[in-house]
Chains A and B, each alone.
Chain A
Amino acid sequence: MGMSPDEIDGVVRRIQGGDRAPFGDLIVEIQRDLRIFVAAHAPSADVVEEIMQASFVTAFESIADYDPRGTFGPWLKGIARNLLRRELHERRRQGRRSGDILDRAVADQCLIDLEEREESDGEMAKLRECLAALPSRQRELIERRYSQQLPLNVLAQQFKRNAAHLSVLLYRIRGILRACLEGKGLEA
Chain B
Amino acid sequence: MNEQELAEITEAWLTGRLDRPRREALAAAAAADPVLLAQLVTDARLSAHLDSLLGTGDVGNLAERVQQMLDARANRHRRTSCNSGRRQALAPGGRWRAPRWIASIAALLVIATGFALWAGRTDRAPVIGDVLARIAAFESGAVLRRNGGVTPLEIGMSLHAGDEIDASNGSAIVTLTDATEISCPNGSRIALNASDPGMVELRAGVLRADVRPQDVRHPLRFTTPQCEAVVVGTRLELRNGSSRSALLVYDGHVRMAPAGGGVAVDVGAGQFAVASLEFPPRAYGITAQPSGWIDAFVGDGPDLDGWWPVWGAWTRRAGILSGIPASGPIDQDRCRIESLRWYGDLDLTCALRRDDISDCDIQLHDFTWDILLPAGMQPGWHDLHVSCVGEGPPHSTIDGREITAVRTDGKKKASGPIGFYGRGPGRLEVKDLRIRAR
Partners in one complex: yes
CA A101 to CA B13, docked complex, whole Å: 13
Interface: A174 (CB within 8 A): yes
* Cα distance, A106 to B50, chains bound together (Å): 16
Report, as a range, how many residues of chain B touch the other chain: 35 or more
> Does B358 sit within 8 A of A, measured CB to CB?
no
Given contacts A35-B57, A178-B46, contact A53 B204 (CB under 8 A): no
The answer to whether A102 and B225 have CB atoms under 8 Å apart is: no
Please indicate the chain B residues that have their CB under 8 angstroms from the CB of A4 in the complex.
Answer: none
Nearest-neighbour CB distance to chain A for B436, whole angstroms, equals: 33
Q: Is the CB of B3 within 8 A of A168?
A: yes
| 8 Å CB contact of B46 from A32, A47, A177 | A177
Is residue A164 contacting chain B, with contact meaning CB distance below 8 A?
yes
Contact code string B224-264 (vs A, CB < 8 Å = 1, else 0): 01100000000000001111100000000000000010000
Whether the pair B225, A24 counts as a contact (CB closer than 8 A) is no
For the complex, is A27 an interface residue (Cβ under 8 Å from B)?
Answer: yes
Does A28 have its Cβ within 8 Å of any Cβ on chain B? Answer: yes
Which single residue of chain A is at the shortest CB-CB distance from B204?
A157
Within 8 A of B (CB), among A99-122: 100-102, 105-106, 109-110, 113
Query: How many angstroms from the CA of A128 to the CA of B50 in the assembled complex?
Result: 9
State which of B45, B53, B69, B277 has its C-beta within 8 Å of the C-beta of A57: B69
Known: A124-B53, A167-B7. A43 touches B45 (CB 8 A): yes
Q: Which residues of A contact B242 (CB under 8 A)?
A: 160-161
Q: Which residue of chain B is the closest to A139 with respect to CB atoms?
A: B54
Q: Is the CB of B63 within 8 A of A102?
A: no
A102 touches B27 (CB 8 A): yes
Could you give, for residues 1-44 of chain B, a 1 whenever the CB lies within 8 Å of some chain A CB and a 0 otherwise? 00110111011011110000001001100110000010111111
User: Are A44 and B44 within 8 A (Cβ)?
Assistant: yes
B41: contacting residue among A106, A128, A158, CB under 8 A: A106
A20, A123, A142, A147: residue with the most chain B Cβ atoms closer than 10 Å: A147
State whether the Cβ of B65 lies closer than 8 Å to any Cβ in chain A: yes
- Contact at A146–B51, with CB atoms within 8 Å? yes
Q: How far is the CB of B168 from chain A (nearest CB, A)?
A: 10
CB distance B66 to A27 under 8 Å? yes
Interface pair A24/B42, CB less than 8 Å apart: no
Known contacts A102-B13, A168-B3; is A128 also within 8 Å of B66 by CB?
Answer: no
Query: Which residues of A line the B interface, CB within 8 A?
Result: 20, 23-24, 27-28, 31-32, 35-36, 38-40, 42-49, 52-53, 56-57, 60-61, 100-102, 105-106, 109-110, 113, 123-124, 127-128, 131, 136-137, 142-143, 145-149, 151-152, 157-161, 163-164, 167-168, 170-172, 174, 177-178, 181, 187-188
Q: Can you list 21 contacts pairing A with B, beta carbon distance less than 8 Å? A: A20-B70, A31-B63, A40-B49, A45-B47, A48-B48, A48-B52, A49-B62, A56-B66, A101-B31, A102-B27, A127-B49, A131-B53, A142-B50, A147-B56, A160-B225, A160-B226, A160-B242, A164-B4, A177-B46, A178-B42, A188-B49
B interface list, Cβ under 8 A from A: 3-4, 6-8, 10-11, 13-16, 23, 26-27, 30-31, 37, 39-57, 59-60, 62-63, 65-67, 69-70, 73, 203-204, 225-226, 240-244, 260, 277
